[in-house]
């Protein structure tokens, strides 16, 4: 999924909050980011 996908599902949540949560989840190894910028996709890890 992309940040835009999350933003579309949760229109009341700001982009900065979405990025912060994704970064926290990445640190916890719950999700991983593939790519950079607009084309970045996030995937749930096996944990």
9-20, pLDDT tens digit by residue?
A: 999 999 999 999
The rounded distance, in Å, linking the Cα atoms of 11 and 14 is: 8
- Would you state the pLDDT for residue 29? 96
For 15-24, which contacts have Cβ atoms below 8 Å and span 24 or more sequence positions? none
Q: Structural domain tally of the chain?
A: 1
Q: What is the pLDDT of residues 1-47, one digit of tens each?
A: 999 999 999 999 999 999 999 999 999 999 999 999 989 999 999 86
Enclosing domain of residue 18? 3-44
Residue-level pLDDT at 47: 64
Residue 46, pLDDT score: 81
pLDDT of residue 21: 98
């Amino acid at each position: 999924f992309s940040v835009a996908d999350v933003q579309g599902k949760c229109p009341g949540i700001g982009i900065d909050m979405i990025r912060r949560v994704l970064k926290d989840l990445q640190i916890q190894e719950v999700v991983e980011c593939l790519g950079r910028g607009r084309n970045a996709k996030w995937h749930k890890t096996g944990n």
